Amino acid sequence: MKTTLRTDITVKEICEGFVYSEYEGKGLFGWSGKLTIQPEYQRNYLYKDAKLEEAVIQSVLSGYPLGLLYFNKVGEDRYEILDGQQRVTSLGRFLTDKFGLVIEHVSACYFSSMPEDLRKKIEDTTLTIYICEGEESEIKNWYKTINIYGIKLNHQEISNAVYSGPFVTMARAEFSNSQNSNLQKWKAYIKGEVNRQEILRVALEWVARSTDDTVIDAYMSKHRYDDNINELLNYFTSVIDWIMSVFKESHREMCGLAWGELFEKYHGRPYDPIEVSKKVNELYADEAVENKKGIFEYVLGGCKDTKLLAIRFFENSTKKSAYTKQTNDAKISGKSNCPLCAAGKGNNAQRIWKYEEMEADHVTAWSKGGASNLQNCQMLCKTHNRAKGNR
């Protein structure tokens, strides 16, 4: 890859003809139309935060270097930003009065209203730019290594660059668009930032049936030059629609669950949404249920795997009270303090077990409505308790 160092280009020149799309949340063009600020492989603009944007402008005013910028030459006098789009976009947004900053105790001081000497200082600041020329594979591999002056690239942002093409462009337009009217619905079930490609990542995990980076990358490579994202979008929509059809109410703990895996495992089963809602609310109201996130898979699985709920069966004080009562009664009757041992005829029929040799058990099973209180607690020897089913 050939690189040429340029130190003669000013902020004013780079921001000439700057275009920023509020709808897409990204800078489009600069340098009098010669520069594409956010090519399709670039991540979204992340500096649209007062402190981050202002830091770029304050650095220029203070004479601090902004760091190296890398432009990819894609044609005769045509360039794309390889690294530095966050900084260039911040400069362009400021010079076009998209935001202001505090200067000499004046809040929200916009570029057009700044003192002339400060405007000139910003405009005349020269940038350090490497112009890169090479094959696509060289440029993309170089992009993967870049982590300069900003927020570290996540894997999906890198994959978007490596497999850039019509598929990534259309996928980003759908899943990385902060103006998408479906976002509010999606974010009830998916945890992640749109501008960090995290919703897109989940969509890809679902359709690829995997969270493994290599599997996701293989899927993106296979579909790189597709002229549609029908499979991706249809599968994603099917998962979302299934969730909403089974669970009529959304709960905070639903966000971030492995819905793709749950869809694959359970979507072939019939559910009564009214009964599902009733059971979910019942479990939410049960103080013994410590893992609220496990409620949804527990209900989908037919309310069988109580490990999903991390049930807090009995307080220590309850267990000790039950043990004391059973032990005192057993000593009087001459039988074991384990009711099941006492009912038998073996060697343990009269054995008094130590507290640490016993475990608490529901007389009426928790799954059948039994409460986790002293009245429904019995202490059993470990052997009998672990052999006892859901009776």
263 and 336 share one domain: no
* SS3 at position 148: coil
Distances (CA, A) of 228 to 206, 322, 374: 17, 65, 62
Residue at which a domain ends, from 100, 118, 151: 151
38 and 127 share one domain: yes
State which residues form the domain around 216. Answer: 154-268
Give which of 243, 297, 13 is closest to 129, Cα–Cα.
13
Torsion over CA: 382, 387, 388, 390 (sign): positive
Residue at which a domain ends, from 151, 178, 197: 151
CB of 323 closer than 8 Å to CB of 355: yes
205 and 144 share one domain: no
What is the layout of strands, in order, in the sheet containing 26-30? Answer: 2-6, 129-133, 69-75, 78-83, 35-36, 26-30, 19-21
**208 C-beta neighbours (distance < 10 Å), count:** 19
pTM of the model: 0.59
112 and 61 share one domain: yes
239 and 163 share one domain: yes
What pLDDT score does 390 carry?
47
**Cα within 13 Å of Cα(351), Cβ side:** 16
CB of 155 closer than 8 Å to CB of 133: no
Give CA–CA dist 28/17, Å, rounded: 10
284 and 261 share one domain: no
77 and 17 share one domain: yes
What pLDDT score does 40 carry?
65
306 and 377 share one domain: no
123 and 40 share one domain: yes
Give which of 194, 211, 191, 200 is closest to 170, Cα–Cα.
200
Give which of 332, 310, 314 is closest to 377, Cα–Cα.
314
| Coarse DSSP helix, strand, coil percentages of the chain, rounded to the nearest 5 percent | 50, 15, 40
Give which of 121, 132, 131, 42 is closest to 87, Cα–Cα.
42
32 and 65 share one domain: yes
CB of 358 closer than 8 Å to CB of 378: no
> Would you write out the chain's pLDDT as a tens digit for each of its 391 residues?
788 999 999 999 999 999 887 665 566 899 999 999 887 666 555 555 667 888 899 999 999 888 889 898 989 999 998 888 889 999 999 999 988 887 765 566 899 988 899 999 999 999 999 998 887 777 667 666 655 445 567 888 888 877 888 999 999 999 998 889 999 999 999 999 988 899 999 999 999 999 998 899 999 999 999 999 999 999 999 999 999 999 999 999 999 999 999 999 999 999 999 999 999 999 998 878 889 999 999 999 999 888 899 877 788 899 999 999 999 999 999 999 999 999 998 899 999 999 999 999 988 887 777 888 899 999 999 999 888 754 4
49 and 118 share one domain: yes
Give CA–CA dist 102/219, Å, rounded: 47
Residue at which a domain ends, from 256, 284, 311: 311
**126 C-beta neighbours (distance < 10 Å), count:** 13
* SS3 at position 190: coil
Give CA–CA dist 198/23, Å, rounded: 19
State how many domains the chain has. 4
What pLDDT score does 85 carry?
85
Tokens for 61, please give them: 């005013």
242 and 260 share one domain: yes
CB of 70 closer than 8 Å to CB of 81: yes
